Amino acid sequence: MPFVIDLQGQTVVVTGGNRGIGLAISEAVAGAGANVAILYRSHPKAQEAAEEVAKKFGVQVKAYQCDVGDDELVKKTLKQAQDDLGQITGLVANAGVSVVKPATELTKDDFRYVYDTNVLGVFNTAKAAAQLWIESGYKKGSIIINSSMSSQIYNQKGLNDPLTQVFYNSSKGAVTNLGKCLAAEWAPHGIRVNILEPGFCNTEQTSGMDQKIRDYQANTVPLGRFSEPHEQAEPCILLLSDKSSYMTGSVIRPDGGATIW
Ligand code: NDP
Mean pLDDT over 135-155 rounds to 91
**Is it the case that residue 162 has pLDDT exceeding 70?**
no
**In the prediction, which pLDDT does 1 show?**
76
Bridge partners for 130 per DSSP? none
**In the prediction, which pLDDT does 208 show?**
82
Could you tell me which of 146, 83, 88, 76 has the C-alpha nearest to residue 117? 146
Mean pLDDT over 88-99 rounds to 97
Burial degree of 87 (CB within 10 A; 0-12, 13-18, 19+): middle
**In the prediction, which pLDDT does 142 show?**
98
* CA atoms of 201 and 19, how far apart (whole Å): 13
Could you report the per-residue pLDDT of 186-235, keeping only the tens digit for each?
999 999 999 999 999 999 888 888 888 888 889 889 999 999 999 999 99
* Closest ligand 1 atom to 227 CA: 40
Bridge partners for 61 per DSSP? 36
**Is it the case that residue 158 has pLDDT exceeding 80?**
no
Going from the C-alpha of 92 to that of each of 161, 194, 222, 236, the distances in angstroms are 30, 10, 27, 8
For the chain, give the percent of residues with pLDDT over 70.
Answer: 96
**Is it the case that residue 10 has pLDDT exceeding 60?**
yes
* CA atoms of 48 and 54, how far apart (whole Å): 10
DSSP 104: G
**172 included as an active-site residue:** yes
**In the prediction, which pLDDT does 153 show?**
67
**pLDDT confidence of 257, banded at 50, 70, 90?**
very high
**pLDDT confidence of 152, banded at 50, 70, 90?**
confident
Mean pLDDT over 90-117 rounds to 96
Pocket test for ligand 1, best of 205, 214, 225, 226 (most atoms within 8 A of CB): 205
Mean pLDDT over 146-174 rounds to 77
**In the prediction, which pLDDT does 156 show?**
52
Bridge partners for 92 per DSSP? 14, 144
Q: CA-CA-CA-CA torsion for 190, 33, 127, 180, nearest 10 degrees?
A: 60
**148 included as an active-site residue:** yes
* Closest ligand 1 atom to 146 CA: 32
Q: Are 234 and 243 in contact (CB under 8 A)?
A: no
Bridge partners for 119 per DSSP? none
DSSP 217: H
Three-state SS for 38?
A: strand
**Is it the case that residue 157 has pLDDT exceeding 80?**
no
Q: Whose CA is nearest to atom 36 of ligand 1?
A: 148
For ligand 1, the distance from its centroid to the CA atom of residue 151, given in whole angstroms, is 16
**Is it the case that residue 159 has pLDDT exceeding 60?**
no
Q: What is the largest CA-CA distance in the chain?
A: 58
First to last CA, the chain: 38
* CA atoms of 212 and 207, how far apart (whole Å): 13
Domains located in the chain, CATH noted:
11-252 (3.40.50.720)
Residue list, ligand 1 pocket, CB within 6 Å: 15-16, 18-22, 39-43, 46, 67-69, 94-97, 117, 121, 146, 148, 198, 200-201, 203-206
Going from the C-alpha of 129 to that of each of 82, 120, 260, the distances in angstroms are 10, 14, 33
Q: Are 146 and 94 in contact (CB under 8 A)?
A: yes
Mean pLDDT over 101-126 rounds to 97
**pLDDT confidence of 138, banded at 50, 70, 90?**
very high
**Is it the case that residue 44 has pLDDT exceeding 60?**
yes
**Is it the case that residue 248 has pLDDT exceeding 90?**
yes
**243 included as an active-site residue:** no
Q: Are 143 and 82 in contact (CB under 8 A)?
A: no
The mean predicted confidence, pLDDT, of the chain is 94
Going from the C-alpha of 41 to that of each of 140, 144, 237, the distances in angstroms are 28, 19, 24
**pLDDT confidence of 184, banded at 50, 70, 90?**
very high
